[in-house]
Amino acid sequence: MLTSVPNFIANFSQLATPKFVKKTSRKSLVTSLVLLQALMWVPILSLSFITRIDGLIIPLLLIFFYTLYLTFGSLARPAWSSWMGDLVPEEERGKFFGRRNEIIGFTGLISMIFAGFFLDLFKGWWGNLFLGFAILFFLAMIARLVSRYYLIKQYEPKFKEDEKYYFSFSQFVKKFGEEGEDQIISEDSPFTLRW
């Protein structure tokens, strides 16, 4: 439940991003949402120290704040992708984002291994697993604030909106009905379905 519900809600939140981008710059939107995302670590971290409440309240609060954390990140993602897409030349995007994802995957794996050893240390030697979690959450908040600092320093080119790429859900359904299910996926795609 800790991963399915928050991710489900967060993924749907991305649908609101185009409305926000029309009202403010991508940089402003992304840096504001990254700040809110970083601040979500404060209540999550605080839950580590609440020991007098029994039952489902703590897990439900954790799910609530984690959902907000993911939602702020999901709202920022399309605007960030558009912004970075404008900064990286088109012929280099695949290589750039592929390398970026490689680095993120590697550092994520190393971080999880480190966090596991770190939590084992707190559980075994100091007997306070929750303090270990609180320290990790604090480090996550600091890392997110550092990333925000660098996003603030990053140049943002002027956003050029192309209206032909925008369509409503009802327009999508109508086009889906006109072209048929097998036409939605490109004929050249390796994932083309044949009926």
187: pLDDT strictly greater than 60: no
193: pLDDT strictly greater than 90: no
pTM over 0.85: no
**pLDDT tens for each residue of 59-84:** 899 999 999 999 999 999 999 999 99
| Cβ–Cβ < 8 Å for 7, 77 | no
**pLDDT tens for each residue of 15-37:** 888 888 888 999 999 999 999 99
- DSSP for 95-125, please give it: HHHHHHHHHHHHHHHHHHHHHHHHHHHIIII
Tell me which residue has tokens 């029994």: 54
Closest CA to 13 of 31, 35, 37, 45: 37
The domain limits of the chain are 4-156
